[in-house]
Chains A and B, each alone.
Chain A
Amino acid sequence: QKEVEQNSGPLSVPEGAIASLNCTYSDRGSQSFFWYRQYSGKSPELIMSIYSNGDKEDGRFTAQLNKASQYVSLLIRDSQPSDSATYLCAVKFEDTGRRALTFGSGTRLQVQP
């Protein structure tokens, strides 16, 4: 069974700190990885996509992918209280022909003012 694992948290960081969110996945052949942010009562919002090993930066967000170790992470620099949300990691498993993404259960981030 294809799985995406995340620590449910909550991960609590002070305002201005770096928040580090991690995700592991079971399928070594996966090629597409995504991070979504979901505020309470709202639908997920795409933050980042990453397809190649290494880092991808977008503003305060950096996604890191290590296919050999089968993990993908999201770093949030200068964390703000408005970043408090649940962060969902999503992976597209290539070998099943399945078009849907497989989501982790999410990590709840709390940024303390």
Chain B
Amino acid sequence: GAVVSQHPSRVICKSGTSVKIECRSLDFQATTMFWYRQFPKKSLMLMATSNEGSKATYEQGVEKDKFLINHASLTLSTLTVTSAHPEDSSFYICSARKTPSGAGETQYFGPGTRLLVL
């Protein structure tokens, strides 16, 4: 397997503030990381694909100026929720793409960050 960490695991903030979430691949290098959002009892929704050293690719309907993504190294991607509002409250999960030798590639998920905006 592979280990992906996220920090913080839980955050409560006031409306209008910005929140930064970190995603790290601990035992492998990840040129690509993904950010998902999941609302209660709903499936994962891909927000953006984070590429090391280049701009992130955002899914349709996701505001790139509101959800800032930086992938500055092969082991770290950050998601900043700017000017957070209560409707941004959700479970944010990152995953890192590991490309082993041979067939296939796999995404490993971080433990998630639960964001509550008051």
Complex formed: what's the CA distance from A105 to B111 in Å?
19
The smallest C-beta distance from B112 to any residue of chain A, in angstroms, reads: 4
Is A32 a contact partner of B109 (Cβ separation < 8 A)? no
In this complex, how many residues of chain A approach chain B with their Cβ under 8 Å: the count is: 21
B43 and A45 contacting across the interface, CB-CB below 8 Å: no
Any B CB within 8 A of the CB of A17? no
Residue B61 at the chain A interface, CB threshold 8 Å: no
- Interface: B65 (CB within 8 A): no
Asked if residues B107 and A43 are in contact (CB atoms below 8 Å), the reply is no
Interface string of B46-57 (1 = CB under 8 A from A): 100100000000
Partner of B49, one of A32, A42, A90, A100: A100
Measured between alpha carbons, how far is A106 from B109 in the docked complex, in Å? 16
Partner of B44, one of A32, A42, A49, A103: A103
Do B43 and A46 have beta carbons less than 8 Å apart? Answer: no
Q: How far is the CA of A87 from the CA of B114 in the complex (A)?
A: 21
> Which residues of chain A from 30 to 47 have any CB-CB distance to chain B below 8 Å in the complex?
32, 34, 36, 41-46
Q: Are B107 and A101 in contact (CB under 8 A)?
A: yes
B44 near A99 (CB under 8 angstroms)? no
Per the 8 Å Cβ criterion, residues 1-50 of A in contact with B are 32, 34, 36, 41-46, 49
Q: How far is the CB of A105 from chain B (nearest CB, A)?
A: 4
Cα(A34)–Cα(B44), bound, Å:
15
By CB atoms of chain A within 10 A, which of B1, B49, B106 has the most? Answer: B106
The 9 closest A-B pairs by CB, nearest first: A43-B112, A105-B43, A43-B109, A43-B93, A44-B109, A103-B44, A51-B104, A51-B103, A43-B111
Chain B residues within 8 Å of A, Cβ to Cβ: 1, 32, 34, 42-44, 46, 49, 91, 93, 97, 103-112
Q: Which residues of A contact B (CB under 8 A)?
A: 32, 34, 36, 41-46, 49, 51, 88, 90, 92, 99-101, 103-106
